[in-house]
Structure formats: structure tokens, C-alpha cells
Structure 1
Amino acid sequence: MSGLQTYFVPRVLSSKITRQWKPDFSKPDILFRREPAPYLEWKFALFPCRSGILVGPDAEDEGVWIKHIDIHHKGGPIIAVQVENEFGSYSNDTGHLLFLKKTLIDNGIRELFFTSDGYFNYTEGLNGLDNTPFYTASVLAALPDRVPTRVESVESRTLFPDCASSDGRRPAHQAVVDTSAVRQVVGGGGETGPLPTSIEQIRHVEALPTVNFQDIEQGEQLFRKVEALSDDFPLMVTEYWSGWFDHWGTEHHSQSLQDFGSTLTAILNRSASVNFYMFHGGTNFGFMSGANWDFKEITLKTDVTSYDYDALLTEAGDITEKYRIARQLIYEATKERNRPEIPYDTPKEDWGAVSIKQYMPLETILTLTKKFSENGTVPMEMLDLHSVDGVDFGGQRYGYILYRVNITEGHNLTFTEFPRDRIEVFVDGNSVAILEGMVDNVNVNISRGRHTDTQPKGRVLDILVENRGRVNYGLMGTTILDEQLKGLNNNCFLDGEPLTDVEIYPLEFDDDFYKRLSGNHEWEVYSGQTDLPGFYRGRLFIGYTPLDSYLSMKDWTKGFVYVNSHNVGRYWNKGPQQTLFVPGPYLRQGFNEIIIFEQHKSNNSVKFQETYVLDALQDDVGHA
């Protein structure tokens, strides 16, 4: 049996890249499981950047996005629907899970519901299965902050008929139910709604528990927890982690073939179903890579552009030895005779070097975006910048933001909170300091670049802030998901006084900006390497149907790249990723436009090659 896990991404919240893939759910030989939840572990869970989770309790947090997850489709071989993802690692708010399931049921979903959890602190034995009681009426417990108005005892029966034991029976259980939560779900949310009186109503508060892990020792403990809930629950590894994602400045992650094979063998020997996470990771095109919070080091760790993940297929979809091992082990366990042949890898092309011909400095770039005038510094999300399909999503979502203040005096610039996320300070166009990391109350001496007797006394202070990606995962008891505003939030002072009369330039670098950039007539002739932010343009000629390729950025410093109209992602010379994947369809026969946004030190050319480099760390040359 073939299976495919997909994530439901509301169109209004997604980029054009996400919308390009449209799976054919009518295929009879592929079964699907979908995950329609706001807690996607990707790019701040796809919450709007100015949702209530960011701007405060008085804003609409669920209301902003729930109309978009109300979208549903019927038909096709969808066999299961996941409710949330590893939610037990973050919260024990069972009411949130009940709300999501009710929404799915109200929209006609009748497939098997399931949750997916694992350990979030194995040393202390902390896992999501224990933390969020959402699996069957027999284990649904009262929420910590609610007092049950009445306790029901219900005799359980087979609630998952497709997963029942051979005799179709299941032991009876005594169910302890928080009826205040059940009333809200079954009774339509009113305090006077009817209490559940039958097992069919109790179905509204159930889902099959499945587990996530890489290490079989942890996996076996999770299997036992599922079996303790019910002997009839089938075992399912919803995420068998075939590798791990990478962060800028850290080693490339991989899982040895021996460990991968031995764990997969143990899973199959348990007669458990398995879903590889990832089977194919792909690429975080654009600014979609996101970030993680290191709760031990107390620091932000941003994901690289590649989501290679050491998966069974490479970033370009090519076969790996890990794929061959999985294929053989599954064959030995199932004796499936009708195995398709292993496909050939797609060809790659070395298009060679592309010379840089044109340059656009930061000052010209600012003329291509809207300017806001504020009395102080405000985060990018709070700018009134966007409205999509009549829904106000307000602020800037991605990219960079520049704060400009004209000053006549002042020496010490102080940031009372740590940067969100990376700051470069300029005085009269000269770089003075770069700040990143979790350090607050940082002072920057901006006396460098002061005027002389022959210069005007006024100076221009620019603060360029990069949004390196919002956190996509949090743990129980932490507030990191509430702290994802990017930019400056009235936390910047000059000689002890807050900055006022601030000009703000949102540099979101979206599709509309690209059109203005590409068609602009203010490009300058490139005259050699520079050390200041700017765009650099060259052209690549292809004489036949383009093939996939990799763009080597090893001689550049930090930024992102447009290939034609496609933002193929961020690069940073510190690694470990040194190449950007460029799919053949992003190129075209004839001339191709390559535009690079470089924050620091540029180079005279950029090179397309056949091979990728994802494991090369090096110093961040000349910059923090």
C-alpha cells in the first residue's frame, strides 16, 4: 500500500510556491493522510504575521485563520486526517483539539482522526502522549483549569472499526470525561448544551494516537504507551525521522545507514505502519525556512534553505542508498511482488559562471518600496501593508526592514532588547556595527562617520533589520511563540532618548517588488566588489530545454537570490549549505535573469554547477 502525507496550507496564507503543487487525489493506488492544523512545524505554523498570537490577547487569534481551515474537499482516497501536530509537547489545552476536530466533522470529514506525538524531554520522560489526553473516551481527562460539572461512565466499544481486533471486540472501559469540554463540542459550545448520552457522541472527543521518533529506544517506550491505552490501537509511526534539518552555522545533520536500517527493521517487526519524515524534504524557497529556538543555549537557530534532511530522496528528488535500504526492508517484511523499478535520477547541468553586469545600491532600493513615517520604531508586523481577498493581514511578513532617523548629535545607540533578528547599523551609509544573538542592552558607538567642518552637521542613521525566520515549535511552559515580532519595538535609544521621527521602509521583497526591481531603469553599471547592501544582476543564456542545477554562492557572503521571478532562497557563507537548488522549470530557454541581494561583500560572478554542497562550514568572513 502506498501512502502520502500532505500538509493543508490555506491558500490565502501561502506563497505562490505552495500553490503550484496540486496532488491528484483521484489516483487509486495512492492513499493520503492530511494535516489541516495551524500548528504546522513550518514558518510560524502559517499563522498570519499579525495574528493575535503575536500582537496580544485582544486580537483575533483563532478567528483570523479558522475561516481558512474551514475549507474542505470530499472524495478520493484520503484514509486519515491528523488533528494538530505534536501538540502535547506544547500544550495540554484539550479544548483546542476538540475545537479542531469538531470543525473537521462539521465540514463533512468522516475519515479516521489521529494525533501525532513524541518525546520532548526523554531524560525526564516527558512526552506528548501523556500531556494531551485526546485519544479515547477512556482516557479523556479534565483540563487543568476547568472543573467538571458532571462525570459520566460510558461503556466503550469499537470506535475505530477499521482498526478493530480480529473478533471485532474491545474491552469495556470506564470513561472519566470533562463534560464541560464535551458540552462545548457536542452541544454546540453553549453552557446549557446537552451532555453526551451515547458512545456516538463521545466519538467527538477521540483520535487515534500515533508516535514520532528516530531512536528505537524512545520508539518502543511510545509504542507501549499506545498499547496501554487500548490493545486494539494499531501502531503507527507517523514521523520516522530519516535525518534532521540544518541550521546556519552548525554541522550538517545525517543519520547513519546502519542506524536507519536497524530502526526501520524494529518498526516493521512490531507490525507497525510507518511514514518517513522526510521521504523527500525538498527546498525552503523564498523566505520560508523558518527557525527554531534552542531552549538549552537560549538562542535563535534559523533553518537553512535546503530541506534535504538526509531524506530517502535528495533535495532534487534523486535516489539515495537510504532509499534502497528502505525499499529492501519493506519488501522483506511484506513480500510485495509488484515493486516498480527504481527510477533514474534527473539529469543536472553545469551552466557555468554568470558575470555580474549591473548593481543597484540600497538608496535606490528604498525608492521601490512604500515609506512609513512613525513617531518611534515599530515592528514590521504592525505596519499597515497588506490586505488579501478582503482580509486584513496588516503587516510586513518577511524580508528586511530599514529604520532611518536624521540626527544632529548623539554617540551611543542602545538596544534594550536582543535583536530580532540581525541588525546592521549605518551612519551616512557607512556600516558601523552588526548585532545578532540573544544579548540585550547592547551599546553601539556611532561616533565613527561623524561630520567634519566641510560636511553638513546633519547625519543619517540607518538601522537595517533582517527577519531571519519565525520560530515554528514551542514547548510546554514557554512563551517563545508569543515573541515573534520582528524588527524594532520601541527598544532603541540614542544617548538614552528613544528614537523619534522615524522613516520606515518595509523591504519585503515579494512578487510585486520583484516586478518593480526587474523593470527599473536606475540600475548602475557594475564596477567591482562592494561591501554594502545592494542588488547585483547578471544574465544566463540557455540554448535548450533547461535542466536542474545548483547555484554555488561560496564566494558571496549573505543574502538571497532571484532566478527569473523566483526567490530560490537564502545563502550565508558560514554554511553548512553552500549551494542553492534551482529546478529546471525555474529557468527558461534563452536569457535568464539572475539577481542577488548581497548584504555585505559581493563577488564578480556566480556559478551554476551539477553538484550540491550542504556540509561545508566556514567562518562568516569579516562579519559577526
Structure 2
Amino acid sequence: MSRVDGLSANSSQFTLGGEPFRILGGSIHYFRVPRAYWEDRLLKMKACGLNTLTTYVPWNLHEPQRGTFNFQDQLDLKAYVTLAAQVGLWVILRPGPYICAEWDLGGLPSWLLQDTGMQLRTTYPGFVDADNLYFDQLVSVIKPLMFQEGGPVIAVQVENEYGSYAKDEKYMPLIQNFLRSRGIRELLLTSDNWEGLRYAGMEGVLKTINLQRLSFGAIQHLADMQPQKPVMVMEYWSGWFDVWGERHHVFHSEDMLPVVSELLKRGVSVNLYMFHGGSSFGFMNGAMDVGTYKPQVTSYDYDAPLSEAGDCTRKYQLLRNLLSQFHAEPLPVEPALGKRRAYEPAAIRGYLSLWDSLHFTDKPCRSERPVNMENLDVRGDSGQSYGYTLYETTITGGGTLNSRNNIRDRTLVFVDRHRVGCLDIRTRELALPDGPGEVTLSLLVENCGRVNYGKALDEQRKGIVGDILLNHTPLTGFTIFCLDMKPDFMNRLMHSGQWKSDFKSPSIPGFFQARLHVDGPPRDTFIRLPGWGKGVVFVNGQNLGRHWCIGPQLFLYLPGPWLRSGENEIIVFEEQQVDDKIRFAENPDHGRTVDVYKLPFCTLL
């Protein structure tokens, strides 16, 4: 195969190395899959009959602090792409800088929001300067992986769904130039839904479409826009994501397979989004806001052909049967399913109150007025990105506390460290009890996830973003604690000698400690927390993500490679209520379901 002739879109069918080529793609995000399972998931992709891997690249993980880059370990993009090539897959990279992906701020770093005038996804100088430096680092990693350099990357996407945003007509050509000027010569693509296709295209960049329902009008419209060009569905949505407090979305294979089959019969190239969703571990889930803010759950199962834990579902088997018709040779044998275990319940052995844990945080900040999370003087000059922030001040007397909608996104309210209520996007006023003399007012604010899609990206600062009123007077004189629960803090917490063993009347919020003993090789499992309320789970220092009794997600996926034979440390940060055990199951419980194909599309957005 000629390495000069990469993927070409100069006729009604793609060619690769000068030969006709049909993209049978699927999305798996390396940052949502434990590195130990990359090979397993890619082998299952190959065995299903797909020939191309697509993945986003999350800027906010690769540059977590301004000027500090990480392409190692779980974020070793080069190793992931190289492994895909070894498995026999081509690769399409989708490096953003914005990726959406139901990922916090659509993959953009939160420290960009320190600039009060920031205009994300535009040619605003502050955004362009930061983006420029990121592309310097990124392209140095990905350029050797390009097809014409001997690698597997056959195409690169320019930004993502910009037609639905379209704030700056000069922006997309700028991103195109960022890639071309740094030596990326492979085919460039854009990706848009039906609405976004109205945005003007760029010379030399192929438009693709995202959809779920079969729309011959949309497909024909795309073909008419680009005569004698191949038609591609960059995102064929194989399922849908979930938000807290609603039902788990399912998309039945009986509805999905006929659409994929019809697209393939018409010669369309298809990429399944997602082929395998994985998990938005830690605090990395995004949120949607189309009139109402709705944070997304930790699980990114997506009802994809390959489940969150790597199971080959019925959807996978039917898809494999369909795709086998497009291969001259038999498909590879599917890798065996990994074993799972429902471990014995782990008893709570100790707890540490939120208030006692403050000794292990970094030095608190002091400010006359509230400071939003991103602008706190912590973590160098990059502020706080994720987790919780505690604001404390002194008040005299009770009355009406009014958030003025300046809480982002949810706060527990305490008077002298006794809980008195909760404020969030819906509840903005709270009556505080009267008391003699001065008392401490504490506001524990949770960043529940930044919006990842739509016009509200510039307004995603978290914590307290403006004045809070008590009896119409702004509160002042704050001491502010950063509770981002990063590994250094969790390590100090874990090894402290201050854990209390008297579990009869634990102080909530607090950290609750248990140990799981694993006999033999560690296996995948699912953590279940019946009797608990809302919080975060850590296993051996790894942040598995959020739990919340309102569902639909009633479990947390715990990969076997994150366990060890012998003793394992589990810590639950809990806000509301506790049980005396942590339980485990072999299979997930997604809660109540709803058929995504029977919902009006507008209700999904």
C-alpha cells in the first residue's frame, strides 16, 4: 500500500493507498477505559468487523494545569494508537480542542475560565494563545502516528460540531491551520448534526454528519453539499447518555441494526458512537443545559454494543453478523469474557468527619467576597478544577439566605457545622435558625459537572460565583477550603491516625473507610451502596466517580486491574446517609429504563 496516497475523498467512495475503502468505524475513548483493558476492547472491536477506531483527545486531561502536560500512563495516546495498529485497526483522531463527549466542559481546561472575558471556541486571543501551546504539544505526539509517516492515523477531525455553535467565522479556519501548519497532511474532516450542516464548510475539509434516526433527507442534503464526495456518518449514535434523576436510556438492537444495514447498503461509511463507552471516572462527567441544568452520571455505558465492563451484548452479536457480510475472510474469534466477582460485603471500619479532614487540605484561601473555584489561589496559577469547595464565614443571627443563583451547582448549608439545608439550581432560598451571638456559616459547594454542549460554555465557572445574601446583605469575610480530593489529599487522609471507629453516630458529611480482602487474582466487580445517599467512591486511591441514590445509576464499575490480591482500601465520601457496609455485584443495575428511539429528539437535547 502506498504511503503517499492516504485516505482520499476525491470521488464518491473513499480510497486508501489508491484502493477503494469503506470506513467501518467505532468510538472507544482511551481515557474512559483502564489501560490494562485497552487491548481487550480493541480486539473485540476488530472481532466485530470494524476496521477503524475513532477517539477524542481531551485537552483538560492532557494539560490539567496551565503549561503542565501529561501524555503518560493512562493518557499515553501514542501507545493507544500504536496498539490499535497492532490489532489491525486504522485510526481517526478527533483532537478538538473542544470534543463535547459528555465530558466536563467538552474537554476544555477549566483554567481557561480564570479570564473573566474568556470566549471559548473563538479567535479570542486568550483562547487562541492557550490552544496554540496545546497544539504544539499534541502534534509533537500525533504527527509520527500519521499514515504518511508510517502510522495508522488516516484522518483528523477539525474541532467538533461547530456548526451548532458557530460564534466566530474565523475560528474553524484557524484550527485547520493549526493542524496543517504543524505538518498534518492527512484528510481533515468536520462532524455536525443536521442543524450544524448549515454552517459553511472549509476548502479541503470533508463534511460528515451525526445522527441516530434514519434520515434520507439529511443524507441526501450532505451528498448534495459535496458532489462526488464520499458520504460518512461520523457519529451513528448506538445509544444515549444518562443524567441524574431520570431513566437509563436504551436503544434496542431491533431499531439500530436496520438503520446501520440501510446506510451500508447505500455505500455510506459509518462510525458507531459509541462502540464501547466505558466510564467517566472521577469528577469528569459533563452536564447538559437546554433551559435546565442536568449533570450526567459517571457510567458512560451508553447502551453501546460493548458494555461498560466490556461485555459483548446482543447488539454486538447482531452487529457482528451484519458486518461479517462486508468481509471476504471470516472475522476473528471474540476474546473470552473476563471473569467477575460479587465480593463479600466490606464492613465500615472507621470514619473521619468533613471538619476533621480539613487539616489535610492545602492552606485555605481568605477573601472578603466569594471567589469562584477556578480563581482560587491553589494548584499554582490554575485554580481548582473539580470536586467540592467549602466556604465559611461568621454571621450573627438567622434569617433568609438567598443564593441569587450564584451557587454552582449544589451546596449543603451548615450553621456551627450542623446541617440546616441544601441550595441548588431550583432551591435558592433557605431559612437559617436564630442563635445567640456569632455562629459559623459553612457552605459546602459541589461542582456537579460543567456543561459540555451548547451556548453556555463561557458561563461554567463553579463554586460561588457572586454574592450570597443574608437578609438582603451580601456575606463577607470568607475562609475557603479546596476539597478537590486529588491523590495527594486522599493519601494524607488514608494514612492519618485520626479515623474514628465508633460508628454509632458518625458525623455527616464525612469519609468512611472499609477494606476489601481479595483472595486470588482480582476480578472486575460493581460497587453497590443501598442505604447510602450521595457522594464519591475511592478504591486504592482511584476515584471511581459519583454515587447518588436518585439513580438511574445504582452502581459503580470497579475494574479488576485497580484491585490487588490481599487488602484493598475503599473510602466513601458521603453527604447524606450511611450504611455499615459496602456491597458488590457481578452485574450492574441501571435502574428504570426508557427507549430512546421512542422519545422526540428534542427531549434528548
Question: Structure 2-normalised TM-score?
Answer: 0.82
CA distance in 2, matches of 1:598, 1:546: 26
- Which moves more between the two structures, 315-324 or 37-46? 37-46
Alpha carbons of 1:99 and 1:59: their partners in 2 closer, same or farther (altered >3 Å)? closer
2:408 counterpart SS class: coil
Alpha carbons of 1:384 and 1:53: their partners in 2 closer, same or farther (altered >3 Å)? closer
1:402 partner letter: L
1:69 counterpart SS class: helix
Q: Is the 8 A contact 1:377 1:490 kept in 2?
A: yes
Q: Is the 8 A contact 1:52 1:59 kept in 2?
A: no
Alpha carbons of 1:322 and 1:53: their partners in 2 closer, same or farther (altered >3 Å)? farther
1:416 partner letter: R
CA distance in 2, matches of 1:28, 1:290: 31
| 1:86 Cα deviation from its structure 2 partner | 0.8
CA distance in 1, matches of 2:303, 2:115: 33
2:423 is aligned with 1:435:
yes
1:468 corresponds in structure 2 to 448
CA distance in 2, matches of 1:53, 1:85: 23
| 1:17 Cα deviation from its structure 2 partner | 7.8
2:156 is aligned with 1:81:
yes
Trace 1:225-624 onto structure 2 (pairs within 5 A).
Answer: 225-293=221-289, 295=290, 298-332=291-325, 334-369=326-361, 370-387=363-380, 392=381, 394-417=382-405, 419-438=407-426, 442-447=428-433, 450-451=435-436, 457-474=437-454, 478=455, 480-528=456-504, 530=506, 532-616=508-592
CA distance in 2, matches of 1:52, 1:402: 20
CA distance in 2, matches of 1:528, 1:616: 33
| 1:68 Cα deviation from its structure 2 partner | 1.2
| 1:52 Cα deviation from its structure 2 partner | 4.7
CA distance in 2, matches of 1:491, 1:18: 40
1:364 counterpart SS class: helix
| 1:531 Cα deviation from its structure 2 partner | 6.4
CA distance in 2, matches of 1:419, 1:341: 52
2:130 to 64, 71, 78: 64
1:216 to 214, 217, 223: 214
CA distance in 2, matches of 1:20, 1:588: 23
CA distance in 1, matches of 2:131, 2:305: 34
| 1:466 Cα deviation from its structure 2 partner | 0.6
Deviations 1:518-566 (A, max 9, x none): 1111111142364620000011111211011100122210001000110
Q: Is the 8 A contact 1:531 1:602 kept in 2?
A: no
| Higher fraction of helix | 2
CA distance in 1, matches of 2:76, 2:562: 12
Q: Is the 8 A contact 1:531 1:601 kept in 2?
A: no
2:32 corresponds in structure 1 to none
| 1:94 Cα deviation from its structure 2 partner | 3.3
CA distance in 2, matches of 1:117, 1:609: 39
- Which moves more between the two structures, 548-557 or 490-499? 490-499
Q: Is the 8 A contact 1:423 1:435 kept in 2?
A: yes
1:607 counterpart SS class: strand
1:30 corresponds in structure 2 to 89
CA distance in 2, matches of 1:52, 1:503: 22
| 1:605 Cα deviation from its structure 2 partner | 0.5
Deviations 1:275-325 (A, max 9, x none): 1100000001000111111x2xx2111111100000010101110010111
| 1:501 Cα deviation from its structure 2 partner | 1.1
1:278 counterpart SS class: strand
CA distance in 1, matches of 2:349, 2:244: 29
| 1:271 Cα deviation from its structure 2 partner | 0.7
Alpha carbons of 1:311 and 1:526: their partners in 2 closer, same or farther (altered >3 Å)? farther
| 1:114 Cα deviation from its structure 2 partner | 0.5
CA distance in 2, matches of 1:612, 1:269: 36
CA distance in 2, matches of 1:116, 1:372: 43
| 1:612 Cα deviation from its structure 2 partner | 0.7
2:204 to 198, 203, 206: 206
Q: Is the 8 A contact 1:414 1:443 kept in 2?
A: yes
2:13 corresponds in structure 1 to none
CA distance in 2, matches of 1:343, 1:577: 27
Trace 1:9-20 onto structure 2 (pairs within 5 A).
Answer: 9-10=58-59, 11-13=62-64, 18-19=74-75
CA distance in 1, matches of 2:330, 2:324: 10
- Which moves more between the two structures, 555-564 or 523-532? 523-532
Alpha carbons of 1:299 and 1:560: their partners in 2 closer, same or farther (altered >3 Å)? same
2:332 partner letter: P
| 1:509 Cα deviation from its structure 2 partner | 0.6
Deviations 1:106-163 (A, max 9, x none): 11111000001113xxxxxxx1111x2124xxxxxxxxxxxxxxxxxxxxxxxxxxxx
Q: Is the 8 A contact 1:287 1:469 kept in 2?
A: yes
- Which moves more between the two structures, 412-421 or 205-214? 412-421
Trace 1:93-108 onto structure 2 (pairs within 5 A).
Answer: 93-108=168-183
Aligned residue pairs total 517
1:486 partner letter: K
Deviations 1:212-257 (A, max 9, x none): 100002xx22211221123211011110000000000011001122
Alpha carbons of 1:529 and 1:571: their partners in 2 closer, same or farther (altered >3 Å)? farther
CA distance in 1, matches of 2:115, 2:324: 48
2:111 is aligned with 1:50:
yes
Deviations 1:42-68 (A, max 9, x none): 210222213158622498222223311
| 1:423 Cα deviation from its structure 2 partner | 1.3
2:521 counterpart SS class: coil
1:468 counterpart SS class: coil
CA distance in 2, matches of 1:598, 1:468: 15
Q: Is the 8 A contact 1:535 1:598 kept in 2?
A: yes
- Which moves more between the two structures, 102-111 or 55-64? 55-64
1:94 counterpart SS class: coil
1:94 partner letter: E
1:471 counterpart SS class: coil
1:100 counterpart SS class: helix
1:594 counterpart SS class: strand
Q: Is the 8 A contact 2:58 2:108 kept in 1?
A: no
Q: Is the 8 A contact 1:118 1:222 kept in 2?
A: no
Cα RMSD between the aligned structures? 1.9
Alpha carbons of 1:481 and 1:18: their partners in 2 closer, same or farther (altered >3 Å)? farther
- Which moves more between the two structures, 415-424 or 559-568? 415-424
Alpha carbons of 1:549 and 1:523: their partners in 2 closer, same or farther (altered >3 Å)? same
CA distance in 1, matches of 2:486, 2:94: 27
Q: Is the 8 A contact 1:554 1:579 kept in 2?
A: no
CA distance in 2, matches of 1:378, 1:460: 18
CA distance in 2, matches of 1:461, 1:571: 26
Q: Is the 8 A contact 2:113 2:374 kept in 1?
A: no
| 1:512 Cα deviation from its structure 2 partner | 1.3
CA distance in 2, matches of 1:29, 1:510: 37
Q: Is the 8 A contact 1:530 1:600 kept in 2?
A: no
CA distance in 2, matches of 1:92, 1:535: 44
| 1:261 Cα deviation from its structure 2 partner | 1.0
2:166 to 74, 91, 111: 91
1:39 to 79, 98, 109: 98
Identity of aligned residues (%): 37
| 1:365 Cα deviation from its structure 2 partner | 1.3
